[in-house]
Amino acid sequence: MQNITHIYFDEIDSTNEELKRRYRSGEKPAGWTVVSAGHQTAGKGRSGHQWKSPTEDSVATSMIFYPKVRIQHVPRLTILAGMAVASALEKLYDLPTRLKWPNDVLINEKKVCGILCEMEPDGDHAAYVVVGIGVNVHQKEFPEEIRGMATSVDLALQKSGRDQKSSRRDIDRQIWLEFARLYEAFEKTEDLSALQEEYNSRLVNVNQTVRILDPLGEYTAQSLGIDKQGDLLVKKEDGSLVAVNSGEVHVRGIYGYV
Ligand code: BTN
């Protein structure tokens, strides 16, 4: 099992940025380093968006490591991050977590976390990879624009009728334990062959219709689950099989898609 050093800040700009600063200043410990924060003043989301981490209501955590796997396999780590969150919440709170390809973690059809992986190339490897995860934990409501598609751990516990208090610290710790378990399997084969089944058992809409937003043209297909590369295998209406590895996939009933 990996040796994980955990550093906590009450407040920081962004846990991803803190780890990148440490790396640039020459810090490169042998094990994995996790930085977590009670509040981020400049949390980063995907595609240059902001990520809000309300004070002590969410988990904002990032881990830096130096994977042995070759660079072309690094994008798959984001799939492991989604699996780690789903697995952690299920183990800690027995919540019914599902995955929407590639790495959205859903509870009751709503998104409970965001994942941002960053890396710097160095030849055929990555100099480092930072995996950043933000989990909605204690929030009881969300801004208007995301209200219909976001949930939190506490809301999910409430909905399942349990009077249980969730713990940001436990969630943070369990996520990285799960990530270490998953990465160990991934590193051996540099693919998801050992994890495909676990992923597909959580995937929403297997064997049902999905809408693929391919930049070359949208189409409807039947989702068959991921292959060992982490691509989403779909069967088009003409019977042909396609491995989707980019673009958006819309699933009926999720985020208002009908
Ligand atoms: C998304 O847009 O869905 C990804 C959001 C990722 C947010 C996390 S919170 C911890 C880490 N630090 C950041 O600045 N961003 C990530």
CA distance 137 to 211: 30
Selected residue with higher pLDDT from 246 and 243: 243
The sign one gets for the Cα dihedral 89, 92, 95, 97 is positive
CA distance 90 to 248: 26
Alpha carbon of 134 to ligand 1 centroid (Å): 5
* CB-ligand 1 contact for 36 (6 Å cutoff): no
Selected residue with higher pLDDT from 9 and 56: 9
Two tokens, residue 84: 């780690």
* CB-ligand 1 contact for 132 (6 Å cutoff): yes
Write out pLDDT tens, residues 169-203: 999 999 999 999 999 999 999 999 999 999 999 99
* CB-ligand 1 contact for 60 (6 Å cutoff): yes
* CB-ligand 1 contact for 40 (6 Å cutoff): yes
Ligand 1 atom closest to the CA of 111, numbered from 1: 3
CA distance 165 to 154: 7
Helix (H, G, I), strand (E, B) or coil at 35: strand
Write out pLDDT tens, residues 202-235: 999 898 899 998 888 889 999 999 999 999 999 9
Alpha carbon of 201 to ligand 1 centroid (Å): 26
* CB-ligand 1 contact for 14 (6 Å cutoff): yes
* CB-ligand 1 contact for 16 (6 Å cutoff): yes
* CB-ligand 1 contact for 115 (6 Å cutoff): yes
CA distance 57 to 38: 8
* CB-ligand 1 contact for 51 (6 Å cutoff): yes
Write out pLDDT tens, residues 122-156: 999 999 999 999 999 999 999 998 999 999 999 99
Rounded to the nearest 10 degrees, the angle between the axes of helix 168-189 and helix 77-93 is 140
What pLDDT is attached to residue 55?
A: 84
Under 8 Å between Cβ of 198 and 83: yes
* CB-ligand 1 contact for 42 (6 Å cutoff): no
Task: Judge residue 25's burial from the number of C-beta atoms within 10 Å of its C-beta, 0-12 exposed, 13-18 middle, 19 or more buried.
Answer: exposed
Q: What distance, in Å, lies between the first and last C-alpha atoms of the chain?
A: 43
Ligand 1 atom closest to the CA of 114, numbered from 1: 3
Residue 20: partners with Cβ closer than 8 Å, 6 or more residues away: 64, 118, 128, 130
pTM: 0.95
**What confidence category does residue 256 fall into, taking pLDDT thresholds of 50, 70 and 90?**
low
Q: Compute φ and ψ for 243, nearest 5 degrees.
A: -100, 110
* CB-ligand 1 contact for 230 (6 Å cutoff): no
Alpha carbon of 237 to ligand 1 centroid (Å): 36
Two tokens, residue 251: 């699933």
From 47-51, 84-88, 153-157, the region with the lowest mean pLDDT: 47-51
To the nearest whole percent, how much of the chain has pLDDT over 90? Answer: 83
Ligand 1 atom closest to the CA of 134, numbered from 1: 9
Alpha carbon of 219 to ligand 1 centroid (Å): 30
Which of 35, 104, 133, 172 most suits a substitution to test ligand 1, by most atoms within 8 Å of the C-beta?
Answer: 133
Nearest of 147, 138, 88 to residue 115 by alpha carbon: 88
* CB-ligand 1 contact for 205 (6 Å cutoff): no
**What confidence category does residue 258 fall into, taking pLDDT thresholds of 50, 70 and 90?**
low
Residue 118 has pLDDT above 60, yes or no: yes
Under 8 Å between Cβ of 238 and 256: no
Give the mean pLDDT of the chain: 94
